[in-house]
Structure 1
């Protein structure tokens, strides 16, 4: 696997496909460019997902994020593109992605999107 920017997301087999378990990934190093001004935009990316058969490999995810560094992208579009690419690579039972972009001109942007696999229903939450 390369240590350079790439749009390829590597995956590996889910070690326990019989159980719904949540995988949370946080990255504070996402950057892209404003498509209007060319100035850098910085974001914290928060992913939580329930795998079906595949999990995303973290180094490839880091290199995937890195591939946006010199690309112009609106916050809403890039957040949904990342989610779409993760769904395509893993086909998870459930995934939610939240992008929290740093303030620019006194305006904060938070984008949250999710995907549920057809037919998948979350289990009832147990409160003890």
Structure 2
């Protein structure tokens, strides 16, 4: 598989729709294992006020034929800095896009959004039931009390 980002200079995409995600062959296609990406400084924009919203994202997936190339994922997540979307649209949309393109055995995303206006909103989505025998660690994000 050809990657467009790994080892190449890359321009940050202007929007999530313009972002190109790269996938490479799973180096252990016969093994059932979990991959976790954590983005503790994720940002997007409120679609009503245009103010920044901040989240701690945790993406867990069990690879099938491919794995996501991390530089392309970082660029994709960074493209949300100028994207207006409600927490639910952003979190679920990231999970659905990764699932539809990568076709993992299973994927879940937790969006732990920091409060604006006094109320944190946590959004969770998964592609279905996890495969039998897959170890699912806790996502490790504390319930809101300053998130730390």
Same fold by TM-score, threshold 0.5 exceeded?
Answer: yes
Matching of residue 55 in structure 1 with residue 63 in structure 2: no
Gaps of 5+ in 1: none
**What TM-score do you get using the length of structure 1 for normalisation?**
0.89
Runs (4+) of structure 1 exceeding 6 A deviation are none
SS at match of 1:107: coil
Cα pair 1:98 1:112 within 8 Å, conserved = yes
Which of 61, 65, 68 is 2:80 aligned to? 68
Alignment length (residue pairs) = 123
Shift of 1:49: 0.6
Structure 2 Cα separation of the partners of residues 80 and 64 of structure 1: 14
Shift of 1:43: 0.7
Larger strand proportion of the pair: 1
Structure 2 Cα separation of the partners of residues 124 and 16 of structure 1: 15
Gaps of 5+ in 2: 136-148
| Superposition CA RMSD, Å | 1.7
Which residue in 1 is equivalent to 2:123? 111
Which residue in 2 is equivalent to 1:35? 47
Which residue in 2 is equivalent to 1:98? 110
**What TM-score do you get using the length of structure 2 for normalisation?**
0.77
Shift of 1:8: 1.1
